[in-house]
Chains A and B, each alone.
Chain A
Amino acid sequence: AQSVTQLDSHVSVSEGTPVLLRCNYSSSYSPSLFWYVQHPNKGLQLLLKYTSAATLVKGINGFEAEFKKSETSFHLTKPSAHMSDAAEYFCVVSRGSARQLTFGSGTQLTVLP
Chain B
Amino acid sequence: SQTIHQWPATLVQPVGSPLSLECTVEGTSNPNLYWYRQAAGRGLQLLFYSVGIGQISSEVPQNLSASRPQDRQFILSSKKLLLSDSGFYLCAWSASGSGNTIYFGEGSWLTVV
Contact = CB atoms under 8 A, between A and B. Distances in A.
Contact of A96 (B44, B49, B99, B103): B99
B32 interface: yes
19 contacts: A41-B88, A43-B6, A43-B105, A43-B107, A46-B101, A49-B101, A51-B99, A90-B43, A97-B98, A98-B32, A98-B34, A98-B101, A99-B32, A99-B46, A99-B49, A101-B102, A103-B44, A104-B43, A106-B43
Interface residues of A, number: 22
A63 interface: no
A3 to B, nearest CB: 12
Query: Interface residues of B: mostly helix, strand, loop or mixed?
Result: strand
Nearest to A6: B43
A99 B105 contact: no
Contacts of A46: 101, 103
A51 B88 CA distance: 29
Contact of A98 (B90, B100, B106): B100
A77 interface: no
B109 interface: yes
